[in-house]
Amino acid sequence: MRFYVDHDLGHAVRGWVVPDNPTAIGRIAVVIEGERVAEIPTRVTDDAIRAAGWHATGQCVFVVEEAEFPGLAQARRVEIYDVETNVLVYRRAPHPNVVRKKVVLVNTSIHPETVIETALFDHFQQSYFGVGRFSEEVARVLFESPWMTSSFQSGAIILPRYEGFLQGDDTLTTLLVHDPFIEMATRLLWLQDRAVVAADPRQRWRLGSVAEAAEYVAGHALDDAKSLKRLFRMLPEPAYHLLFNPLTRLCGTKLPDDRVHPGNSIVAIEVLSRVGIVGHRRFFKAFMTTLYDRLGILEPVPTPAPIPDAARALAERLRAVKLAEDMLVFDIAMSDAVLNAVSKGWTDS
């Protein structure tokens, strides 16, 4: 799916949406002041879209007008979504002082950075979360579109794959490194929490290949040292893929299914060095203060979500398991390097 917005004149918003099916007619949902008021088809034909080979007929253009949607010109909150994918196509700027920059947060944890996402949402015209799960075409629209001058995008983005689209003075890449053992503990607990779904034949499909990993982890006692050692000896491929140097995978490979080799760690360090702002979870305040300063946001920085006691306790047990340490050797080196650099300039975490 591709999309573009030509203009918002207040009384009219015009753009186009090209669906994945080149013979289908796209549909958009119009949301005004938080209410989904209508779903309409793309009614206007653009011969350039057809000539480019993106669509069979070129009937991809939408026009949202005051005549059809009374109050459009005065509405502060106007959003347009693609019906098929529910991807945000356009959001009217909530206020005139939005940040005029494209900010990309590479999410290195299994859990989204909800505190950061919540803090930045209203400072940008358009925000996209979970970008790592978007299709290749949608991701490239977000990264490449020159008309998207105020946007915040976060997700588990494979940096080497998209780094070339994230250059320029108008784009700021950011990344927050987590303690590798705490992240491994978080991922193991995440898998454990999904064991019930994995065991249900009616819901197992929701997890895909992760279902096997969830069932495997559920068969081991995470609070027992011997059980933890057994867990790492016979890891199924989906569990290994999720747990083995995840930071290096994001920064050092180009495809989600690529295996991580020692050479990838060198690539990862080089890619990480080109990220605009790199912080460490232990120094969350330093990361957010630096980010706010670059964006000109004059607000108190948010407080990070507390790390659950269960994750902290499991992380301490994992530090004593040699097999776990071996699975994180590249990530540990990167985390230590970032932590050392940040701690030289900041004394409070």
**Digit-coded pLDDT (tens) for 80-90:** 999 999 999 99
Domain boundaries, the chain: 1-92, 180-281+300-345
Tokens of 255: 């495809």
pLDDT at 235: 94
**Digit-coded pLDDT (tens) for 170-217:** 999 999 999 999 999 999 999 999 999 999 999 999 999 999 999 999
Q: Which residues of the chain have pLDDT under 50?
A: none
pTM for the model stands at 0.93
Domain 1-92 annotated CATH 3.50.70: no
pLDDT at 95: 85
